[in-house]
Amino acid sequence: MAGLDQKKIEQVVRRFYDRVRVDGQLGPVFSVVEDWDEHLARLSEFWSSVTLMTGQYKGNPLAMHLIHMNRFKPEMFERWLTLWKATTSEMLTSEEASLLQAKAARIATRFRMAMFGTRETAPQASDLRPYKTSCEFTHQNLPPVLLRGHRLDQKTWAVVRVSTGDIRYFEGESSNGRLIGAGTAVVVRPDTPHRLEIAGPVALTFEFYDRNPATLVH
C-alpha cells in the first residue's frame, strides 16, 4: 500500500497509546511499562512488520501478554479494538485504516483464544470492510484476464458486486456457471480458479478482503 509507511505507522501507534494510557479500562494494564519510549519503538516495529512485512520485530508479543495475564480480562480486547479503530480511522485513509483494523481484529482473536479459550472478539459482519475496492468495470473495460480465468493468492478473498446487467460466474472445473444479477454479489475464494462470462452491458466492482466476507453477501 503506497501511502502507508513506517513514519505513518509510528504516528498511529503513538496516538493510539496516548489514548490507551489514559483509558479507564486499559490504562491500568499498561502501568507496568517503565520506559514508554522504548515500548513505543518496539510496538512500531511490530506493526511495521505486520503491515509492511519489514521483519523489524523479533519478539514474541503473545508470550509477553501471557506473563501479565492476571492483568487482563476478556472484554478488554473489545475496548482495545474500539480505540484502534477510532485512531486509525482518524489518521489514515479508509483503505489504510481497513487494513490495520482487519489485522488488529485477527491479532485480538488469536490472543484472546490463547489466553481465555474463546473467540468472542472475532469481528462482526458490521466491522468487516474491504482493504481495497476496484473502480467500476463495465463490459467495455473489463480486464480480459477475468474472462479467461485466474485465481487470487492464498490469503485474499474477494466479492464481485454487480450493479448493472448479469454475469455468469464459473469456479473451478465446473462448466455450469452461476448467474449473478444486478444488485447481487458472489464471493471469490482464495487460490480458486474462476472466470466471468458476460453477454451484454454490465457494471461491476471488486472488493478485496483478508478473511471470508460471506456474511456480507446475501
Spatial neighbors of 198 by CB under 8 A, at least 6 apart, are: 139, 142, 147, 165, 166, 167, 168
57 in any annotated domain: yes
**155: containing domain:** 132-216
pLDDT at 161 over 70: yes
With 70 as the cut, is the pLDDT of residue 21 above it?
Answer: yes
Assess if residue 164 is contained within a domain: yes
Closest listed residue to residue 157, CA positions, set 126, 188, 196: 188
Q: Tell me, yes or no, whether 100 and 169 share the same domain.
A: no
For residue 173, count CB atoms less than 10 angstroms from its CB and return exposed for 0-12, middle for 13-18, buried for 19 or more: exposed
Q: Which of 103, 127, 151 is the last residue of a domain?
A: 127
Domain boundary among 102, 127, 152: 127
Q: What is the pTM of this model?
A: 0.56
- Judgement on whether residues 123 and 137 belong to the same structural domain of the protein: no
Residues 12 and 120 in one domain: yes
> Is residue 59 a part of any domain in this protein?
yes
1 domain-assigned: no
pLDDT attached to residue 77: 87
Instruction: With CA atoms as reference, report the closest residue to 97 among 56, 134, 61, 127.
Output: 127
1 vs 145 pLDDT, higher one: 145
202 shares a domain with 113 = no
Q: Please say if the pLDDT value at position 44 is more than 80.
A: yes
With a cut of 80, say whether residue 125 has pLDDT above it: no
pLDDT value of position 61: 78
CATH code at position 192 = 2.60.120.10
> Are 21 and 118 part of one and the same domain?
yes
Provide the CATH number for the domain around residue 55.
Answer: 1.10.490.10
Q: Which of 73, 102, 127 is the last residue of a domain?
A: 127
Q: Do 157 and 198 belong to one domain?
A: yes
Q: How many domains does the chain have?
A: 2
Average pLDDT for 30-50: 90
- pLDDT at position 204, please? 94
User: Is 189 inside any structural domain?
Assistant: yes
Higher model confidence: residue 120 or residue 171? 171
**Residues 98 and 84 sit within 8 Å (Cβ to Cβ):** no
Is residue 39 located within the same domain as residue 95? yes
Q: Which residue has the higher pLDDT, 123 or 29?
A: 29
